[in-house]
Amino acid sequence: MKDTEIIIPVKVAAYEELEASDRRLVDLAREATHRSYAPYSRFRVGAAILLDNGETITGANQENVAYPSGTCAERTACYYAHATYPEAKFVTIAVAARDTDGKEVAQPIAPCGACRQALLEYETLAGHDVRVILTGAKEMFILPSVKSLLPFAFTEFD
DSSP string covering 112-156: -HHHHHHHHHHHHHHTS--EEEEE-SS-EEEES-SGGG-TT---T
**Backbone phi, psi, residue 119, to 5°:** -65, -35
> Which among 17, 63, 74, 123 is annotated as catalytic?
74
Q: For this structure, is 139 an active site residue? A: no
The set of long-range contacts for 147-156, using a CB threshold of 8 Å and a minimum separation of 24, is 147/120, 147/123, 148/8, 148/9, 148/10, 149/110, 149/111, 149/116, 149/119, 150/113, 150/116, 150/117, 150/120, 151/6, 151/8, 153/116, 153/117, 153/120, 154/117, 155/120, 155/124, 156/124
Q: Catalogue the active-site residues.
A: 74
